[in-house]
Structure 1
Amino acid sequence: MTIEEGTHTLPDGTQLYTKTWKVGLSSASNRGKGPDGTTKAVLAFVHGFSDHCNAYYELFPNLASSGIEVRAFDQRGWGRTVKRPKDRGNAGGTALVLSDIHSFLLGVSPPPKTPLFLMGHSMGGGEVLNYVLHPDSPYTTSNTRPQLAGVMVYSPLIGLDPATRPWAITVFLGRLVARIIPRAQRHSPLDTKLVCRDETVVADYIADELCHDMGTWEQLVGMLDRGLWLENLQSGDLTEGKLLPMWLGHGDADRITSWAATKKLSGVLGVKGDVTFVSYEGGYHRVHMDPGEVRVRFVKDVTDWVLKKAEGTEAAAE
């Protein structure tokens, strides 16, 4: 495996920090790769709230070791993309968020005949679902769009768990403030006890200065509105045969985003398309780093689904 850092320049000149985990040379016996380290699939990844692409531990290296190249970036307002403190959390509204994802994906050039998948975690999972499902998304409206073979999300922000869901009056007042001072920052920390069952992961999260817990009113309201749109989505709103293959995973002990909302949406999408829902017993929000069997199973589930869909894509192309 080799790792490369870089930048992606957005249409307005903003430079996103990017990182790529490339498939390295390996023996022919390694599953998912040829004797020359052939890349079987490329996975573009979108991180969550108060997070960044370097905070996913061994998830991306493990995927790369199985033949899945990972392309990730720090979103506008987050991680190493931020150059000034006043830019923390300043990701813009939904139109800008989805436009940034679209631009990044158009800049991803997989090797010939290598399928491209899109994955998102938490806030990024909600963004990914809005990107491929919302009628106003550039994926839907643009004449130029990435050729995606499938979509994966886990612990997606569809609905917030009742333990962390804000009062309705708080959301109402937030919308008013967002209209007046959209770029004003608001410190919105997550309850660190709910992040992961691995205490080392929690300690790392608390100590990580790039996980700054800062959003703007515009960003926070947009994030909640994207989730609300997904919560209200019905199968009748979808066009049969137009949905990409989808995989949705969620730990049933997640108290940040709602497991029940993810399961419900999986059922709605499953009426019209190829949808897989996987529940992780006892899993917290960062299920990819939950201790023991959950962590191992999560990586295997993601790897198996991508490689299976990649093989199907290759067969169809031939």
Structure 2
Amino acid sequence: MPADKPPTVPPEIDIPNPGKSEQFWIETDYSDKTRFWAKRFYPTDSSAGDEEIQPKATTIFVHGFVEYVDRYRNIFKLWPSKGHEILGFDQRGWGNTWRNSPKPDGNYGNTTWPQQFQDLEFVIRQTRQRLDQRWGANKVPIFLLGHSMGGGIVTAFHTRSEEWVKQHGGNGPTQEAKEMVAGVVASAPWLTLTKPPAWFIIWGASKLLALMPEIHWNVDLLGKNISRDPVVASNFENDPLSDKKVYLKAIQGPLQGGMDMVDKSHKNWPESKPYLIVHGTGDLITSHKGSQTIIERMQAKDKTLKLFDGYYHDLLNEPGQDKVVVGEYVINWLNSHL
């Protein structure tokens, strides 16, 4: 576990009325005693001693592959500045959840799609309970925002069939949890890759996993391909919380499941659930064409694809005001669905 490197600092950004933030642990009732490192950014009333005020909505953020929530700690101030709360949690096997786990050595990226759905449902329920206790039952709507791998997760969360859930031991998103979500935003979702591996590599990986379920894999992700901001690119290369050696099983879900959503399981999307995809046309990691295809094929009444010309993969960590343009577009969409 790399402990000798200092944590990276994202580029500063000037946001007026940024509200406040707090980090905390989301304790689960799991048998393995998993707990999630979390951080929320919330609006305050500057005329009343920065007292917390009821947000217009709460956005639960689901981060991407080999990353973590605190990479976004500056741009996420934009949400409180617009009267919104945003909450992110480091998923099992990633970020501070991994680093502070009982046995971090060898456990980086140790997760699967079914586990990620179970964990997201737990956070949704915990958040719903917290908001209801603080502000009143269902007074604050909950939205999901997932980036890259997280964008695939928040999409897949709403497209799991009953058959899929049964095949995975009943460990899938419940209808009750899905109904707690007012709308879904996917940022550069992992549906299809810009440079997908050949079919026989995917086939071979599945066979290999069946024989060696705990096998590791080195991923080829370069900072310069993530963002056009050189600081963000350098951070990604040198971040002690962004390792590139993960479990192969952590790749299988988004790799095969993403393609399946484009081809088939998009049919399971709830017709009344609003869905927004934001994607950069210059994305070198996930393909904006996959996003275009799933939006075209979906039967959702309320579906939107917003393409940002020339933007790279890490939309909320692009240079200068570019990230703000994306953030404000998402927040305006949230406002239109309150």
TM category (shorter chain) comes to 0.7 to 0.9
1:89 is aligned with what amino acid? Answer: G
Give the letter aligned to residue 127 of structure 1: I
Deviation string, structure 1 residues 157-195 (Cα, Å, up to 9, x no partner): 000012xx2222221221112112212222213132210
What residue number does 1:118 align with?
144
Quote the Cα distance in structure 1 between the aligned partners of 2:313 and 2:178: 31
Quick one: structure 1 residues 218 and 41, their matched pair in 2 at CA, closer, same or farther if it must change by over 3 Å? Answer: same
The whole-number CA distance in structure 2 between the counterparts of 1:27 and 1:247 is 35
1:166 maps to 197
- 2: distance between equivalents of 1:86 and 1:146? 36
Aligned partners of 2:325, 2:212: CA distance in 1, in Å? 44
Residue number among 277, 299, 305 corresponding to 2:305 in the alignment: 277
Query: Secondary structure in 2 aligned to 1:309?
Result: coil
Q: In the alignment, which residue of structure 1 is the partner of 2:119? A: 100
State the Cα distance separating 1:224 from its structure 2 match. Answer: 0.8
Distance across 2 between alignment mates of 1:231 and 1:307: 28
What corresponds to 1:224 in structure 2? 255
Aligned to 1:290: 318
1:130-145 to 2 correspondence within 5 Å? 130-135=156-161, 136=164, 141-143=174-176
Question: What aligned pairs does 1:20-39 form with structure 2 within 5 A after superposition?
Answer: 20-26=40-46, 37-39=53-55
Instruction: Choose which of 258, 274, 291 in structure 2 pairs with 1:262.
Output: 291
SS of the residue corresponding to residue 276 of structure 1 reads strand
Deviation of the 1:103 alpha carbon: 0.9
Q: Secondary structure at the match of 2:294?
A: helix
Whether contact under 8 Å (1:48, 1:123) holds in the other structure is yes
Aligned partners of 1:127 and 1:226 also within 8 Å? no
Instruction: Give the direction of change, closer, same or farther, for the CA distance of 1:249–1:144 in structure 2 (3 Å limit).
Output: closer
Matched residues in 2 for 1:70 and 1:143: separation? 22
Runs of 4+ that moved beyond 3 A: 35-38, 136-146
Aligned partner of 1:129 in structure 2 is 155
TM-score by length of 1: 0.87
Seq. identity, %: 26
Name the structure 2 match of 1:4.
22
2-side partners of 1:140 and 1:57: how far apart?
28
Distance in 1 (CA, whole Å) between partners of 2:105 and 2:245 is 10
Q: CA deviation at 1:38?
A: 3.4
Number of matched pairs = 299
Structure 1, unaligned runs of 5 or more = 29-34, 311-318
3-state DSSP class of the match of 2:279? strand
* CA RMSD in angstroms, aligned pairs only: 2.3
Match of 1:315 in 2: none
Q: Distance in 2 between matches of 1:144 and 1:91?
A: 21
- Structure 2 unmatched ranges of 5 or more: 1-18, 166-170
| In structure 2, distance between residues paired with 1:141 and 1:69 | 24
TM-score, structure 2 as length reference: 0.82
Answer yes or no: is 1:180 the counterpart of 2:206: no
Residue pair 1:280, 1:294 contacting (<8 A) in 2 also: no
